[in-house]
Structures are given as C-alpha cells and as structure tokens.
Chains A and B, each alone.
Chain A
Amino acid sequence: MEKPILTGEMFTQGDIAAAEGALAAGCRFFAGYPITPATEIAERMAYRLPRIGGRYIQMEDEIASCTAVVGASYSGLKAMTATSGPGVSLMNETIGLAAMTEAPMVLVNVMRGGPSTGQPTEASQSDIMQAKWGSHGDYEIIALIPSSVQEMFDLTIRAFNLSEQYRVPTFVLADEIIGHMRERLIIPPEDELEIINRKKPTVPPEEYLPFKPETDLVPPMATFGEGYHFYATGLTHDQKGYPVMTDEAQLALVPRLCDKIRKNADKITQAESTETEDAEILLVAYGGEARTAMRAVKDARAEGMKIGLFRPISVWPFPKDQLKDAAANAQQVIVAELNYGQLVGEVERIIRNEVPVHFIPRVCGTPHTPDELMKEIRRRIK
C-alpha cells in the first residue's frame, strides 16, 4: 500500500498540493466532476485514493458529486470535492443541505473567470461572495484562501480540521494562479500534523439527540451503521432531528447554525499582516493577488512610502479584528482583487467611514503586475 502522507519535499502544483493536503488530513472519499482549473485535484485523487484504501468516484454532475460527499461524510469518512465556479453554482443546493444537517465536508473551488462559462483557463477571484451567499437561507460556511502551493496543502488540512470541528462545509477558495502554480511543497511527518476529527457521541443510542449542541454549539456526530438509528433532514428540525415547523424550532436551529461559526470566529479567523505597524497606507489583497501586492509593498517601502499589506487567509469568517489592528494607523486603505468588487465591500463595512477605502479591480484572466499596482497606489494616494 502506498503512503497516505508523502512526507518530504516536492516541486509541484497548487492543485496537487490540495489533494495531498486532503489525504494528509485523513480524507478518504472524493466525488467530483471534471472542470478546469480544478481537474488536477480529481486526477490526483483518482490515482492516489484507491492506492491508500480510499474511494474515488466521478459522478454525473456537480449536484451529485456534492451530495455523494455529504452521504459519505454521514457514513463516517472525511470527504471532499473540487470544482470551479460553474460547479459551485450546481453544488450550492447541497451546500445548504450540508449546512442544515451539519455535515463536515471540504470543497476546493479553484476560481476561474465568470459569469457562466466565462474564462475556463484564466485566473479570477470572483467567487468570494458566492462562497458565502451561494445557497438560500441564513447559514454560515468557512472559507480559506491560499497564496502559495504550501498554503494549498496547509489550508486544505486546516479546512478539514475546521469542517470536522464545527460540522460545517468548508471551502478552500483558490484562484487559478495558485491552483496551477508550481513551487516547493514541504510535507511534514505525520506526527507533526495537527489533525482534528469530529466529536462522537458519548451516550448510548437511546439517549442520543443528534442535533443537541454542546457548549461550543456543535452537536456530537454519530454516523450511519453505528447503531444510533438517527434521522437527519434538510427541513427545520428539533434536537431529535425530527421536522418541526414552528417558530421556536426555526429559532432554536438557524441562529445556532450561524452562531457556531460567528461566536467561535476568534478561533477560526486567520490573517497575515506585513509591515502594517507604521503603515499609513494599508493594502489589502489575498490569494495569488497578495503575492503581487507583497512585491508592490516592498517596492513602495524602498521608495520610502509607509505602506503595509493585510492578507485575509480566512475570508469567511472575515478577520475583522485583525484588519482593524492592521489599519490602526492607516490614512487610507487600498483593496486589490481579481474581480469587479467583492471583498472590498466587507473591508468598507469594517473600516466604516474612518478612512477612505479605494478599490483596484481587475476583470481579466491575469493578475496585476507590481508596477500596475504601484501606479494605481500612487494615483489613489495623490
């Protein structure tokens, strides 16, 4: 049997790193449907999973893929799918079901240009809001955005950990730049990896209430075949899991589904601040775009400009407090994204009108160059 964790160094692609991260996290089920630029994840899983005792299945579409993942998760396996925007559009139905029935699952979205079929082979960051609001109703998900091949690996592990811990669908939102970029990946030895598994019930089946939360607002999870004989439904349900159509039931359930993420946000959010202490200008960028932004910050510092970079790593929940800290001395905030204005709205919401928030959009398949960012920064701060 091949090793599930390929400890060592390799020179590889972001998509492959996501697949290896998933295996290292304990993922043993993948269901998907081919789509550029995420296909390499499926291809890697189709090769690797059967060799390590896992299961790969190519489904008839993304609706089926995501639903099979939820079925596998409820059957006790750590399970994932990988796709791009058009596939996420189809999966949104099941993401709502997974949120409602609290199924741990990981979805890697390697973002390409949209809307619709858009630019299949080009980079984009235009599914940021789709990840948060894609399905109907009030719910929360977690979304992490990697900026390197190493982070594709690390954050896929973290996505599994968070998804298991909070029983919530978790996205790895990668742009095509990171998905297809090749660089060094270091896979640590197994005993250096922190792996979190879902909480299991500690009571006998007769006493088990499948949707009764503990103090962290997360209920322990029995899985099929363990003798618990529980029921789960996408309908509003009580702690037994039974459908109940009352105001009280909705009120006991939906706020909890949101609050288990909102109230634990301090444990979930992740961000990186570079040279922000004395920064008068705060640049905000993430994913592939953050690498360009980092270069721009270095160049600007060399010219004597007091500029820093804030990089949200978890976009949902958004690292509010970390942004406020990073922007403490800023006189202006500049947000650069590979879209026509998405996360900038969240930044504005947090900065309020305290200082101006400028936006540098880009709606074509390539990232900004550092020079372009510099030019824009100079123009905006004049």
Chain B
Amino acid sequence: MTETSRISTIEEHPILEYIRRDRLPHIFCSACGIGTVLQSFATALRSLNYDMDNMVIISGIGCTGRASGYFAADSYHTTHGRAIAFATGVKVANPKLKPVVISGDGDLFAIGGNHFIHAARRNVDMLVLCVNNFNYGMTGGQMGPTTPVSAITVTSPDGNIEHPFNLVSVAAASGAVFVARWTALHARRLTKSIEKALQKKGFTFIEVVSPCPTLYDRYNRHGTGLEVMKKYREISVIRNFSDPMQAEIDYRTRIVCGEFVDSEKPEFSDLLEEHGKKLQKGD
C-alpha cells in the first residue's frame, strides 16, 4: 500500500519535456555513457529554460548519432560524419537557430574530421558534444581515431598500433572558442559546461569520455560500466585552463578534465551578415 501511494506522488521526470516520449525506450545499452550525456544536455536546457524553437539538434551515424532522435526539438540525423557540415548550412541559412551536434568520436574525427576543423576555423556558432568511447560502438567495436595505442578492438585484435587524436587539442588548435573535457562521471560539471557553451556564440566543443561496457570496455577487460566509472573517479584530475595539448587521456594513469579554452572571436554568421549589410548599402 505505502509503496503504491509513494510511487503515485513521484513527479514526472524533470527532463521529460525535452524528450520524444513516444520514442522510449531508447536503444542504448545499460551503463553506456551516452545516457549520462543526454541527461546532462537536457538538464542544461532546462536550467537555461532554452527556447527550443531556436535550436536544431543534429547528429551523424553511430550509437551516439541516435541522440538527435530522442529530443522533442527540430532534429536531423545526417549521414556518417556530416552533422557539422549540415549544421553549418543551418546556421548560415537561418542565424537565429542554434545548431547542437551530438555525435561519436569516430563520426566527428574520422570520417567527419575535415568538417570539424573547418567549422572550428570559421567559428560557426554551434555546440559540438562528442561522446568519446574510444571505438566505433554502432558497428561492433572497431578501432578508430581515438583508440589508445595497444587497446584491443575487433579490428585491432592484437593491440592498436596507431597514434590517437587528443580531441581537445585538435579543437583548440582548429580555433574553437570553448573547449572542455569531462567524463561521464562528471555529470554536474558537464551540465555546467554545456550551459556555458550554449550561451556562447561561436564554435564550442565538449568531449565526454564515456564507457562502452558492451564493446570497448569489455574487450579491454575494464569490468562493468560501474567499474569503469570508479576508475574515472580514481584517475581523473581537473585542470581548468591548462594547455589542451598537454591534456593527458590515458585510462591506465590519468585523464585530465576541465574547461581548457573560453575565448571570444567574431562568429561566422555574424561576419557574413555584416559583410552582406555593407555590400547592400553599396559601401
């Protein structure tokens, strides 16, 4: 009796208003980091009371790429790697819109790497939220541009021999005006960084180091999703405004988290508009 009455008084989950309820349950594995990231994103929308008529949520292909389909917002699921190019078209066509790209490490930095660096270089206003699980989750756990040296994946069965990207360093070097890294454990700090990034005008990037207990963390014997989170707690350190080039990301020793870049630079759609206005006046 008491049980039932208690349940009946529980309010609706606070982020549900941002979610397409008719698409639940979602496809993500339990203990996957993607859920945390989406929760943090929705929480940030709520705390900013963000005007959802001005946002477009865009993703590429992958487990993370499915994210755009769960938000009650204008949303578009592009082909693999192209979310940022699509977002650029959106921002330039209608500057009142804020594109948010939520996608995976492979999508954004392998097949989509060129779009990433060029949108950052132009400083096109958008938030890029990258779930870095060190592998291609959707296709069954292959190695990719973030896979650490010697890590086991289905296409590096004897240990990866490639050098990985350090994503925050790529973002900073390409010109992003806001760059942060958190792990899926840092849900609240992640939410704060998302809030900050959403209020900035320019190319903003947040990397979230996330467990993929089904594939990457299983092949590499990292234990359950919970154990991976415990490990994050053990090895992560926060070094705000430290050099992103030096922001170590090594599961055995240290993951450096924090907000590394928060700067100002004229934004691309603003520059285009200004340029157009001058020409229209005949200057």
Contacts and interface: CB of A to CB of B under 8 A. Distances in A.
A41 interface: no
A55 interface: yes
Interface string B75-109: 11111001001111110111011000000000000
Interface in B120-165: none
Contacts, number: 140
Interface in A47-65: 50-55, 57, 59-61, 63-65
A72 B90 contact: yes
B223 interface: no
Interface residues of A, number: 49
Contacts of A230: 74-75
A50 B275 contact: yes
Nearest to B96: A225
A30 B109 CA distance: 26
A93 B79 contact: yes
B52 interface: yes
Contacts of A50: 272, 275-276, 279-280
Given A67-B85, A68-B85, A224-B56, A235 B97 contact: no
Contacts of A1: 280
A252 B96 CA distance: 35
B45 interface: no
Interface string B246-283: 00000000000000000000000000100110011000
Contact of B85 (A52, A59, A74): A59
Given A228-B74, A242-B69, A71 B118 contact: no
Interface string A96-135: 1100010000000000000000000000000000000000
B97 A75 contact: yes
A231 B85 contact: no
A229 B69 contact: no
Interface of A: 1-2, 29, 31, 50-55, 57, 59-61, 63-65, 67-77, 79, 93-94, 96-97, 101, 224-235, 240, 242-243
7 contacts: A50-B279, A57-B92, A73-B89, A75-B89, A101-B76, A225-B54, A225-B56
